[in-house]
Structure 1
Amino acid sequence: MEFKANWIRPAKDLGDVCPVFKKEWKIKKPLKKVELYLTALGVYEAEVNGKRVSGYVLAPGWTAYEMRLQVQRYDVTELVREENILTVIVGRGWMRSPMPGFVEAEYKKKRMEQPCGLWGELHLTYADGSKEVLASDETWEYGESAVRFSEIYDGEHYDATFDTTLWSHALRLDWQTDILMMQEGEEIREIERIGAKSVFETPAGERIVDFGQEITGYVEFCVDAKAGERIRILHGEVLDKNGNFYRDNYRDAKAEIQYICKEGGQTYHPKLTFFGFRYLKLEEFPKKARPEQFKAVVVCSNIKKTGHLSCSDPDVNQLFSNIFWGQKGNFLDIPTDCPQRDERLGWTGDAQVFVKTATYNYDVEKFFTKWLHDMAAHQRKDGGIGQVIPDLLDAGNPSAAWGDAAVICPWQIYQTYGKKQILEDQFDCMKKWVDYITGATTVPYLWAGGEHFGDWLGLDAPSGSYKGSSREEFIATAFYAYSTQLLVKAAKVLGKDAGEYEQLYQNIVETFRKTYPEYLTQTEHILAVHFRLAKDLQKTADDLAEMIKRDGSQIKTGFVGTPYILHVLSEYGHSDLAYTLFLRKEYPSWLFSVKQGATTIWEHWDGIMENGDFWSADMNSFNHYAYGSVADWVYEKAAGIRPLEEYPGFERVLIKPMADKRLNWLEASIDTRNGKIASKWICTPDGIRYEIETAVPAEVEIGDMKMEVAPGTYTFWG
């Protein structure tokens, strides 16, 4: 589509105040349709004649703005009258906020100083077939809005007594239009509202609102107040061990709402920002606050739930809930690490370790397609992939297991949804990443040199380190091999010549085996087996099992080893030990945080320690989805729903459940592109009953029984 609009901006700097742009027009003859095309440098909220044009919030979302900026199309025909006013408030959003909060650099300062900009067109189609376009230009006006301040980290200030009465003509803004593209990702939506569970006073005398669930979004409150009365609200994830409000882990993010009341009853929620929180601290609030005055509005990308997990253990069910909530809370237009502190970035390592679970829990094909296109756009000239996408850390060195998201994520999207297009789109990016490693290493066929995150947050880390004790170059070379192997597979799917990379893969494996004849940590054993690099896979898995038992039957792994540890144990005859780790309730374990009251997945196994103290204040998120990757083991091994690589999109599956009598029953299902696959096992006095539902042909393995079944519902005993 050919557009005519110009970028426009306020004629003067409004400081912290968010501008509101206005276009007035009259309808000259009978209308058939009115469409609004809109985007902004920042985030916006648009109304026609006082009514929202869409439920899309935080539009236009977050992309690699320098190269890709989404345009939204809205059908506003039903909102149009004879005389009309379009208004658009524009906030800083991701583009012009001080992101990331922990970096001070010239490129960050430059982003923050970018001007506010709006681009839009109204397309009027008349009943007689004629058309008219009202494109943004100097005839559009702007003024100060009631949003007196808004940005991603620090929150929003709103003055309900303010009316925009002074309007001036906008100026043209010299900004690119060749970067504009129609909406590609999922829209960000308000998907749920949760009422407050309680309002109470802490031992320190603080007024606290508790929603009983950590969410990403914002609070909506109603109040009866006098004009000029002020409301001030702070957000927090947890209480401290004394039951007082805690927010040190937000670091420099103020995460604050300030609201100046108008006279009488009123309802408000922030328009142009979001928060991660469970608790609110009411610093200022008129009269006595009651639970019914507050609702937590859950905001995330409009992804459809496709997975279901449930079992007989309430603690494990809470873990499942935490995993789903962690994904919702961090899938807000990009896969973020956390939604609350002065970060909220698209960390590539977090995304790749969780991508399989993500695709089973929700339909994220569209979501990841857009993010991976941003990754390709931000790929560096030498083929390196930034630590975060969009790449706001452009001075950061590419790291193994983080940059490998360039290969792992598109391959998984292809495997789950069965469409080659994602591999077509990303193949050059995948190839350039492998070539980057080949060019960056100081030793051929290893990934030597460079800077890496290692087994991030591994519990075997030496004192003072976050990186675990696994050798960084071991991890880097293992992922070098894995990404090369996946690149070869992708090339074959696309009918491309993979000979050069097949040879490269063989050379990496041979060199790896010579260089690393022994494995020193749990994670080193895990990677050697899972990536099929060890000469003797069974022995290495057995050695891993013995090491875990010597370690007290507990995990020592971090971000790199944790996603695969239970898979390796289950695949090589140690499913009982896998269940021991999975069902463990003492620290360290998945269920330790559950016993501590978690409602989402934590960044650290002991974010809140056994004595009630916090792990730290500087890096301690209580909504960090990466360790929720254990869910793909529950789907694939515990419940036994195993997609077959040669049949992408679940065209055919292997169903091979692994029951454990420490649970009375367990069930899982995935709504795939080819229909629902479900598996349940129940421990009874007569044995274990297996109930299977499959919409596709399936290979079933239960104990020594192996058979092929057509689509249908089946019951087996084992």
Structure 2
Amino acid sequence: MFRVAKLRCEYKQNPIGIDVAEPRISWQLRSDDRDCVQSAYQIQAARDASFEAVLWDSGQRNSGQSIHVGLDGLLPEARTRYYYRVRAWNQAGKGSDWTEPAFFETGLLDSSQWQAEWIRAPRARFPQNSEICPQLRTFVDVKSPVASVTIYVTALGLYELQLNGQRVSGHYFTPGWTSYGKRLQYQTYDATSLIKEGSNALGAWLGNGWYKGHLGWKNQMEMYGTTTALLLELHIRYENGSEERIVSGKNWEAAESAIRMSDLYMGETYDARLERDWTNPSEAGWHQVEVIEHSKAIIVAQENVPVTQVTLLKPLAILTTPQGDRILDVGQNMVGWLRFTLNGQSGQTVELQHAEVLDAGGNFYRDNVRAAKQLIRYTLKGGEPETYEPHFTFQGFRYAKLTDFPDTIRAEDFTGVVLHSDMEPTGSFNCSDPLINQLHHNILWGQKGNFLDVPTDCPQRDERLGWTGDAQMFVRTASYLMNTAPFFTKWLRDLKADQTTEGGIPFYVPNLQESFSIGWGETSHSSSAWGDAAVICPWTIYEMYGDNRLLAEQYESMKKWVSYIHGEGDNPYLWNTGFHFGDWLALDSKPDSYVGATDRDYIATAFYAYAVSLTLKAAVALDQTGDAEYYRDLHGKIVNEFRSEFVTPSGRLSVPTQTAQLLALRFGLLEGEAKARSIQKLVELLAEAGDHLTTGFVGTPYLNPVLSEIGQNELAYKLLFQQDYPSWLYQVTKGATTIWEHWDGIKEDGSFWSADMNSFNHYAYGAIGEWLYSYVGGIKPDESQPGFRVVHVKPYPGPGLDWADTQLETMYGPVASCWKRIESNGLEISVTIPANAEGMVLLPGAKLDRILESGVPLKQAEGIRGIELVLDGVKVVVGSGSYAFSYQWG
């Protein structure tokens, strides 16, 4: 069996509304045979699924490329659906059948194509300070059978689209959060199934969202604008071939809605008695909208995957606290909202307030969410049972305090609705230790809670910003867990848009108003390790997904960031100026300080060198030969200056912290005696701390990977398995279901670290997930053959685990690395490599004559391309397929 599977266009299955000049197609191969390689492919495109009239044909192309294949020469037209199919040939010349048709549909392609006008509710009835969410509507008269109905829509603020009283899509928080002054997304929806002949009511709720509501921790609003507004076009294609375009304009009308207040931080107030009938044209209270001027040139098509209701959770119980509060326990720190059903009298109002934890006495605790009320207030219409869920807010919580609910309410009357960007799950990790499995669960749920359209630092308090430092620390872990390529494509375009003229990078993306200061230093941009998201994130996405186009898009931004650093201060090869967060929240900090003991100039220069090294790699990948020579020279000068400044004549680092050693070792800044002394110092520092970490945001992501790389793998495992403070498992033993901001967010005595900055869903320290996948499991990409075209499988078994099972869905297909200890000091390693890819498998501690593959000597096994004895075992080069290696250690 040889076939083509999993067709995708721009990472998505049958996307509509894409605005790319040259759409890219990816597919996977399936084969029962080992060592399957694609030798050729053919793609056809047509405007009909039957392919009776082929519009574009690649012909049989002799190529092994199966990801990001551009349809060169096809010139897509706006608002057009294109069907495509693929077939391929293997290395023996055997061809597959054509795939079933897939499709992509273009959007408007050009912002000048918009004919609609921006409309808002009339200011006379909705003054600027009004908290009420308006409803906007019009009526569409359909007089003959339709072939298709497509809606193109965006908003200032958030919108929820309705057609004939039904929600048009399962997408939430649209149009998403972008750098609104420079980029504003629109969405495309197929509404054919919702339209009917005759009169159709088309409308939208508008919410403040990120655009106009509270944002940041200074109780500020209107960061981007002072009014919500809608821009919409509905395109009808009739069966008779004619077309009609319905656009937002002065013929629309607006009214107050039952949503009396909705805010991302504060929650939502809803009065069901005030619900309106979208479909009743004679209903009172509707008034003509106002047309406003706002740029359409900044509008771009949806880039990220949408936020959806991904998971539904059934609560565990309703508790009564010692203080007498009724508390609903969902059982998981989650992000989204509660859907509930109740019956009561008209005018009765109930409230839900949300929190992450209970205090040591078992009482409801919400001090750590600061000014974010996270309050849902619902007033009943009365009569029949009523079901409600919010529209334009989300909460970070495990517990909800129920106020004025009926005594008869039950846990089963509530559902936890988990919302996040609908990224495809790609990674799984399981092992013999349940606490480590819970840690992995916590890392995954930290990503779920914080990847809601942008990579936020935390999802519950009055902050929820796209901090660049957190994003770059976690991007590789995130990309093991889920397909993050579309997610980071959108976010990196905002980063590039918000980059300063000089090349500086904001602390958070999208950036806020320039008047919004964080309160530390004189600038709101360009801290080392934070601004380095500009180089770390695009390079990581390139490695993980082979996305050359995104790397090329971001390349100038990468160069500008390096140029910004290069121009700071008097010495172009050291970075010793500006504001830096340093090793944020490290445990070796001074009392009453958030900044760790590692010298900030040291961190800045180390990351300067790292940024240049990644920009050099990008230049090589993009065939920018001249740039590559420049960055190679620059990198050498920075490393030399680093050594001159921070390495003593005797070869010792002048900064004696765990993080200092980690950065120097991870970034390749030392060699010879200095490297050996740094390794020795790191081990000594860990021993002085009782084999515990003292690192913060900057050092922690590199701790275990560095230890495994320098021959201290057992020490890395020892750190992983520590259960007392500070450690990853300390949080697990305290009942955590996500990753905490502080190692001791809850102290041993049950008290809290602080109230001002103590998130219990803060993914940065979850970067240990990268080590679980790439060292314990051993799965890594190859930077010269990115996207896992070449898969490195080099597991690092260690004390405390009997087995580990690591799975990863790559662009080429599923990769697996499973190892387990067997009796008589033996090891069994099972590996799966997808078709059209190659595996570089390192069998640790193996001797060549003792290795069996599926019961036969290694040299007799099918699919083996090469065998090499290396320092730490045997390296086996394999083609695609599943392999089972077994041998005795040593």
TM-score range, shorter chain: over 0.9
1:509 aligns with 639
- Asked if structure 1 preserves the Cα contact closer than 8 Å seen for 2:839 and 2:879, the reply is yes
Instruction: Select the residue among 214, 229, 232 that pairs with 1:120.
Output: 232
Q: Does 1:198 align with 2:317?
A: yes
- Asked if structure 2 preserves the Cα contact closer than 8 Å seen for 1:349 and 1:403, the reply is yes
Q: Does 1:248 align with 2:367?
A: yes
- Asked if structure 2 preserves the Cα contact closer than 8 Å seen for 1:190 and 1:299, the reply is yes
How far the C-alpha of 1:163 sits from its partner, in A, is 3.3
2:58 aligns with none
1:297 aligns with 417
Q: Does 1:151 align with 2:263?
A: yes
Aligned length: 714
1:534 aligns with 670
SS for the counterpart of 2:318 is strand
1:236 aligns with 355
2:458 aligns with 338
Aligned partner letter, 2:215: M
Which whole-Å CA distance do the structure 2 matches of 1:261 and 1:287 have between them? 16
How far the C-alpha of 1:284 sits from its partner, in A, is 2.2
SS for the counterpart of 1:371 is helix
- Asked if structure 2 preserves the Cα contact closer than 8 Å seen for 1:224 and 1:265, the reply is yes
2:205 aligns with 89
SS for the counterpart of 1:440 is coil
2:758 aligns with 620
SS for the counterpart of 1:399 is coil
Q: CA RMSD in A?
A: 1.3
Which whole-Å CA distance do the structure 1 matches of 2:418 and 2:176 have between them? 16
Instruction: Select the residue among 677, 684, 699 that pairs with 1:561.
Output: 699
1:5 aligns with 116
Which whole-Å CA distance do the structure 1 matches of 2:465 and 2:210 have between them? 10
1:668 aligns with 806
- CA deviations 1:175-228 (Å, max 9, x no partner) are 111111111111110011101100010011010000100111010000011111
Instruction: Select the residue among 520, 523, 540 that pairs with 2:656.
Output: 520
1:697 aligns with 838
- Structure 1 residues 257 and 112: alpha-carbon distance in aligned structure 2, compared to 1, 3 A threshold: farther
1:706 aligns with 875
Equivalent residues in 2 for 1:129-278 (5 A)?
A: 129-164=241-276, 165-263=284-382, 264-278=384-398
SS for the counterpart of 1:350 is helix
- CA deviations 1:40-70 (Å, max 9, x no partner) are 1111111100111000011111111111111
Q: Does 1:392 align with 2:533?
A: no
- CA deviations 1:218-249 (Å, max 9, x no partner) are 10000011111111110000000000000000
- Asked if structure 2 preserves the Cα contact closer than 8 Å seen for 1:229 and 1:286, the reply is no
Which whole-Å CA distance do the structure 1 matches of 2:275 and 2:544 have between them? 51
Instruction: Select the residue among 769, 790, 793 that pairs with 1:631.
Output: 769
- The structure having more radius of gyration, on CA atoms, is 2
SS for the counterpart of 1:74 is strand
Q: Does 1:75 align with 2:216?
A: no
Q: Does 1:610 align with 2:748?
A: yes
SS for the counterpart of 1:567 is helix
Which whole-Å CA distance do the structure 2 matches of 1:538 and 1:654 have between them? 26
- Asked if structure 2 preserves the Cα contact closer than 8 Å seen for 1:98 and 1:112, the reply is no
2:728 aligns with 590
Aligned partner letter, 1:368: F
- Asked if structure 2 preserves the Cα contact closer than 8 Å seen for 1:375 and 1:389, the reply is yes
Taking only the aligned residue pairs, the percentage that are identical comes to: 45
1:375 aligns with 495
Equivalent residues in 2 for 1:477-488 (5 A)?
A: 477-488=605-616
- Asked if structure 2 preserves the Cα contact closer than 8 Å seen for 1:212 and 1:278, the reply is yes
- Asked if structure 2 preserves the Cα contact closer than 8 Å seen for 1:21 and 1:87, the reply is yes
How far the C-alpha of 1:28 sits from its partner, in A, is 2.3
Which whole-Å CA distance do the structure 1 matches of 2:299 and 2:321 have between them? 50
Q: Does 1:111 align with 2:223?
A: yes
Equivalent residues in 2 for 1:563-578 (5 A)?
A: 563-578=701-716
Q: TM-score, normalised by structure 1?
A: 0.98
Which whole-Å CA distance do the structure 2 matches of 1:135 and 1:236 have between them? 42
- Asked if structure 2 preserves the Cα contact closer than 8 Å seen for 1:447 and 1:480, the reply is yes
2:827 aligns with 688
SS for the counterpart of 2:385 is strand
Aligned partner letter, 2:121: P
How far the C-alpha of 1:535 sits from its partner, in A, is 2.6
Which whole-Å CA distance do the structure 2 matches of 1:60 and 1:220 have between them? 23
- Asked if structure 1 preserves the Cα contact closer than 8 Å seen for 2:583 and 2:596, the reply is yes
- Structure 1 residues 658 and 113: alpha-carbon distance in aligned structure 2, compared to 1, 3 A threshold: closer
Aligned partner letter, 1:694: I
Comparing 278-287 and 61-70, the one that deviates more: 278-287
- Asked if structure 2 preserves the Cα contact closer than 8 Å seen for 1:513 and 1:535, the reply is no
Which whole-Å CA distance do the structure 2 matches of 1:374 and 1:521 have between them? 35
How far the C-alpha of 1:126 sits from its partner, in A, is 1.4
Which whole-Å CA distance do the structure 2 matches of 1:610 and 1:405 have between them? 35
How far the C-alpha of 1:98 sits from its partner, in A, is 1.8
- Asked if structure 2 preserves the Cα contact closer than 8 Å seen for 1:229 and 1:261, the reply is yes
Which whole-Å CA distance do the structure 1 matches of 2:802 and 2:527 have between them? 42
Aligned partner letter, 1:679: S
Which whole-Å CA distance do the structure 1 matches of 2:687 and 2:831 have between them? 34
How far the C-alpha of 1:110 sits from its partner, in A, is 4.8
Which whole-Å CA distance do the structure 2 matches of 1:148 and 1:487 have between them? 50
SS for the counterpart of 2:690 is coil
Q: Does 1:642 align with 2:772?
A: no
Which whole-Å CA distance do the structure 2 matches of 1:37 and 1:673 have between them? 30
Which whole-Å CA distance do the structure 1 matches of 2:222 and 2:340 have between them? 36
- CA deviations 1:496-536 (Å, max 9, x no partner) are 12222222111111000000011310000000000000133
- CA deviations 1:645-665 (Å, max 9, x no partner) are 222111112221111231121
- Asked if structure 1 preserves the Cα contact closer than 8 Å seen for 2:135 and 2:205, the reply is yes
- Asked if structure 1 preserves the Cα contact closer than 8 Å seen for 2:214 and 2:222, the reply is no
How far the C-alpha of 1:125 sits from its partner, in A, is 1.3
- CA deviations 1:59-107 (Å, max 9, x no partner) are 111111111111111111111121100120000011111211x236xxx
Which whole-Å CA distance do the structure 1 matches of 2:533 and 2:399 have between them? 34
2:568 aligns with 440
- Structure 1 residues 311 and 506: alpha-carbon distance in aligned structure 2, compared to 1, 3 A threshold: same
- Asked if structure 2 preserves the Cα contact closer than 8 Å seen for 1:42 and 1:94, the reply is yes
How far the C-alpha of 1:393 sits from its partner, in A, is 6.0
Which whole-Å CA distance do the structure 1 matches of 2:677 and 2:429 have between them? 32
- Asked if structure 2 preserves the Cα contact closer than 8 Å seen for 1:233 and 1:281, the reply is yes
Aligned partner letter, 2:830: E
How far the C-alpha of 1:31 sits from its partner, in A, is 1.6
Gaps of at least 5 residues in structure 1 are none
Comparing 193-202 and 672-681, the one that deviates more: 672-681
- Asked if structure 2 preserves the Cα contact closer than 8 Å seen for 1:442 and 1:449, the reply is no
Which whole-Å CA distance do the structure 1 matches of 2:411 and 2:743 have between them? 32
Instruction: Select the residue among 150, 160, 163 that pairs with 1:45.
Output: 160
How far the C-alpha of 1:688 sits from its partner, in A, is 2.3
How far the C-alpha of 1:642 sits from its partner, in A, is 2.3
Which whole-Å CA distance do the structure 2 matches of 1:503 and 1:24 have between them? 65
- CA deviations 1:330-375 (Å, max 9, x no partner) are 0000100011000000000000000000111100100000000011
- Asked if structure 1 preserves the Cα contact closer than 8 Å seen for 2:135 and 2:254, the reply is yes
How far the C-alpha of 1:112 sits from its partner, in A, is 6.7
- Structure 1 residues 393 and 138: alpha-carbon distance in aligned structure 2, compared to 1, 3 A threshold: closer
- Structure 1 residues 442 and 393: alpha-carbon distance in aligned structure 2, compared to 1, 3 A threshold: farther
Which whole-Å CA distance do the structure 2 matches of 1:128 and 1:404 have between them? 56
Q: Does 1:25 align with 2:140?
A: yes
